[in-house]
Amino acid sequence: MNDFGRCFELRVRSSTENLALIRDFVGNVARQGGLSESDLSLVELAVDEAGANVMEHAYGGDPTREVVVRVRLDADAITIEMLDTGRGFDPAAVEQKDLQKLVAEGARGGLGMRLMKRAMDEVQYRSVPGGRNELRMVKKLGKPPGPETTEEDRKSGGKGV
């Protein structure tokens, strides 16, 4: 793989019917990077949550708007960007209620960014007033040591010496 990685893009309407398409698209690219099944499930969960948030909150349920999903696969990480032109928000302004309390109350919202941050290694969101919203999520491709991995490889993080 070269220094530029591999980049893929998907453009879909903001209908919840397209959540499975977005999830499959990202999942297929992530599989090429060799993510473990558990990491793949986390990535798909974060992407599903991000897509649902765009459709429900940014676009207010309007299924005619466009969602752009970009995926970049590098040697050490998969980067997912979700772009929309809907209503933005300030993640810092969202009340961070106690997770146990939310669960006890049977809450059906307010967990999106928290869930994405738990599932991914990096999550960044920015809203450009009058422009677009950009969500960037990164999952590192840390592969567990295989049977041929030497003690030297383990000490150097699997990069060899």
Residues 45-72 have pLDDT tens digits of 999 999 999 999 999 999 999 999 999 9
In the prediction, which pLDDT does 37 show? Answer: 92
Provide φ and ψ at 139, rounded to 5°.
-125, 120
Integer CA distances (angstroms), 151 to 35, 67, 87, 155, 159, in order: 22, 45, 51, 6, 11
Instruction: Collect all residues with Cβ–Cβ distance below 8 Å to 160 and sequence separation of at least 6.
Output: 152, 153
Provide φ and ψ at 70, rounded to 5°.
-115, 135
Angstrom distance (rounded) from CA 120 to CA 123: 7
Measured over the CA atoms of residue 78, residue 141, residue 91 and residue 22, the dihedral's sign is: positive
Domain boundaries, given as residue ranges, for the chain: 6-155
Length of the chain: 161
In the prediction, which pLDDT does 112 show? Answer: 82
In the prediction, which pLDDT does 96 show? Answer: 65
In the prediction, which pLDDT does 5 show? Answer: 72
In the prediction, which pLDDT does 130 show? Answer: 77
Query: Which regions of the chain are under pLDDT 50?
Result: 1-3, 144-161
Going by C-alpha positions, the residue among 30, 21, 74 that lies closest to residue 48 is 21
> What class has domain 6-155?
alpha beta
In the prediction, which pLDDT does 53 show? Answer: 93
